[in-house]
Structure 1
Amino acid sequence: MSDDREHGRRAGTDEGTATHHTGIIGRAEPSADRPGATVIHQDETTKVVAFEFAEGQELADHAAFHPILVQLLRGRVEFGLPDRTLDLRPGEIVHLTAKLRHRVRALEPTTLTVTMLLPRS
């Protein structure tokens, strides 16, 4: 397989879009009894949702229909999977295949994003 740069051509394209989202932390305030959630970005291939948890809040066992990426931006969570529990911290990402059951419990005030990887239509 050859790299476009090997042949003097510029790799990539100048066509397309770039969407920059700022201020994600604090955008979805949690209520007294449940985490807050808000859609940050949505297009034909991805949906990004920001979640804000107060310490001790949790999402019980659930599953996403599509594969997802969970990225911790702030705080710390106990992330339960069928075969193990992860201690997620800022800067860490977990990829889950479609319909994999999981649960989340905030060990401190936490912001995380869930990126749903949607099939192309």
Structure 2
Amino acid sequence: MTVEDGAGGAPTNGGGPANDDGRTVGEGEDGSAATIDVLSLAAPPDPEHPRGRPAVKRLMVGDGANLIAFTFAPGQSFPDHSVAHPITVQCLSGELTFGCGDETIRLTPCAVVHCRERVLHRVDCPDDAPDTNVLLLTMLTGERH
């Protein structure tokens, strides 16, 4: 399992005790579990992004899944795209909309959407949303690392 360290830099494969800043990753003694504080590790919003896109940070590459945090400022979007693996998306803070086909789903904290592979979808952050809106993407790869 590879996870990003609390400073947002290099990946780490080790466990060890958590740091006091709450931004670290702890791993079970046998390497069977990891704890990730997504909101602390997510990149800050970048409202000035030239293409109106959210800030993105890969948090973990692990057995069966990759975790990626997207931080949207109001008015930003991740336009229509598809991915090679099934995914879940979960709003952890703020408000977002998830569009898939003709359906648009309002995402607020605790809402989770599952989407099959190669399905066209998009994510938008309303103009009147809070300053920081975090989406957790779990890419269900099925791969062993």
> What range is the shorter-chain TM-score in?
0.7 to 0.9
Percent identity at matched positions? 34
Q: TM-score, normalized by length of structure 1?
A: 0.80
Equivalent residue for 2:141? 118
Letter of the 1:17 partner, please give it: S
**Which secondary structure does the structure 1 equivalent of 2:137 belong to?**
strand
Question: Counterpart in 1 of 2:34?
Answer: 19
Preserved contact between residue 38 and residue 49 of structure 1 (Cα < 8 Å) = yes
- C-alpha distance 35-44 of structure 1, shift in aligned 2 (>3 A): same
Q: Tell me how far 1:25 sits from its aligned partner.
A: 4.5
2:66 aligns with 47
C-alpha contact 2:38 2:69 (8 A) present in aligned 1? no
Asked if 1 retains the 8 angstrom alpha-carbon contact of 2:86 and 2:115, the reply is yes
Q: Which structure's relative contact order is higher, taking Cα pairs within 8 Å and 6+ residues apart?
A: 1
Extract unaligned runs of 5+ from structure 1.
1-14
Aligned positions, number: 108
> 2: CA distance between counterparts of 1:39 and 1:47?
8
Secondary structure in 1 matching 2:119: coil
Q: Distance in 1 between matches of 2:31 and 2:59?
A: 19
Aligned-residue offset at 1:45: 1.4
Question: Superposed, which structure 2 residues align to 1:72-87 within 5 Å?
Answer: 72-87=91-106
Give me the whole-angstrom Cα distance separating, in 2, the residues matched to 1:106 and 1:38.
17
Aligned to 1:102: 121
